[in-house]
Amino acid sequence: MAPKVKDICNNCNKNVVSNDRALSCSICDKWFHIKCERVPVADYDFLQKSDDSIQWVCKGCKGASQKICKMLTLMHTRQDKIETEVVGLANSLKHCNEKINSVDKNLSQLNENLPKMVSQQISQIIDDKSEEEKREANVIIFGIPETEEGDSKMKDTEFIQGLCSDSLGIDNIAIDEITRLGAKPKKGSGKFRLTRNNLFRNAYKLKDTKIGAHKKIGIGRDLTKKQREINNALRIELGQMKKDFPHRSWAIRREKIVELPKSGIPPWAPDT
């Protein structure tokens, strides 16, 4: 496009006439002498011979366009980041919805099964308590020699009475019933039950008994399966307590581990 007489150079503010070597900016449409813009003559001649597909931009617009390009690039980068975050949030929201649906389903199932579960737990507690009460007055004694001849219950009774009298210092013990548990062993001991609460308070005396037949005797409570599981766990914990605090005395009392006083019932006395 040829300049008009009224066009002036945006740098020197002088008129741009048709015979001047000048270029029009493709962005701001302003005219500039090539000397003012320091455009080489070879570049000017090339632009004059080229078609409109090749554009020329002045230095001012070129700097501004570079800033715009940088801003656009930054905007595209931020847009990509936001889109990635939106996708991540959408996935997280989907996961949360799945979790919520799962929780709702579990709550629904729990609400349906809760009465039954509570009823079963209450029944189990009642059954456990009833079983404990049945066994509360029972005692299991380990290591009683097996009777080979004669009335075994009578001989077991005599042996237990002698055990209580001679080794435990308990006279006139009342035995309601004696029952040996398990199959009769070829050699070794059997078990039986008797009624006598103060056996436990004196059982520790067996440790120092002088009667040979009584040295291998052990006395314990008749526990339910649940009580035995609790007791086994307590014994493991008790062993660790004794390792951690070897200078203190520990024992199991009423399904708890307690520290024993320095004087009184020795720590090996059976749990009461």
Burial class of 219 by CB neighbour count within 10 A (0 to 12, 13 to 18, 19+): buried
pLDDT of the residue at 269: 52
Average pLDDT score over residue span 249-267: 75
pLDDT in tens, 157-178: 878 888 888 877 787 777 777 7
Average pLDDT score over residue span 246-255: 83
CB atoms within 10 A of CB 60: 16
pLDDT of the residue at 171: 78
Q: How long is the chain?
A: 272
CB atoms within 10 A of CB 192: 22
Dig out the tokens for 120 from the structure: 């079963």
pLDDT in tens, 234-245: 889 889 888 888
pLDDT in tens, 209-224: 767 777 667 777 777 8
CA distance 206 to 204: 5
272 — pLDDT class (breaks 50, 70, 90)? very low
**SS3 readout for 112-131:** HHHHHHHHHHHHHHHHHHHH
Dig out the tokens for 107 from the structure: 């709550």
CB atoms within 10 A of CB 36: 19
CATH number, domain 1-57, options 3.20.20.300, 3.30.40.10, 3.40.50.300, 3.40.50.740: 3.30.40.10
Domain range list for the chain:
1-57, 136-260
Sign of the torsion formed by the C-alpha atoms of 31, 33, 39 and 40: positive
CATH number, domain 136-260, options 1.10.3470, 3.40.190, 1.10.10, 3.30.70: 3.30.70
Q: Is the pLDDT of residue 146 over 50?
A: yes
**Residue found under tokens 């905007």:** 75
**Three-class SS of residue 241?**
helix
